[in-house]
Amino acid sequence: MKSFIKSERHGADRETAERLIKKGEMTLEDIAECVLSLSFDELRELEAEIMQLA
C-alpha cells in the first residue's frame, strides 16, 4: 500500500513539475524545493523532454 501511495505522489509531483517548467517562471532549483519526490536530475530530464516537444 505504501508503495502505491508513493507511486501516486510521484506521478502527481511529476505533473506539477511539468506544468511549472512549461510556465517558465521558476528555476529548476525552486521547483525542486516544492516538488520533493523528484530529484534534481529527474527535473532536468523532464525539462529536456518538454523542450524537445516544444
Q: Structurally, how many domains does the chain consist of?
A: 1
Q: Tell me the pLDDT tens digit for each residue of 15-34.
A: 999 999 999 999 999 999 99
In a domain, 10, yes or no: no
35 burial via Cβ count (<10 Å: 0-12, 13-18, 19+): buried
pLDDT of residue 21: 97
The answer to whether 16 and 23 are in contact (CB under 8 A) is no
Q: What pTM does this model have?
A: 0.82
In a domain, 45, yes or no: yes
Domain range for 27 is 16-53
Q: Which of the two residues, 1 and 38, has the higher pLDDT score? A: 38
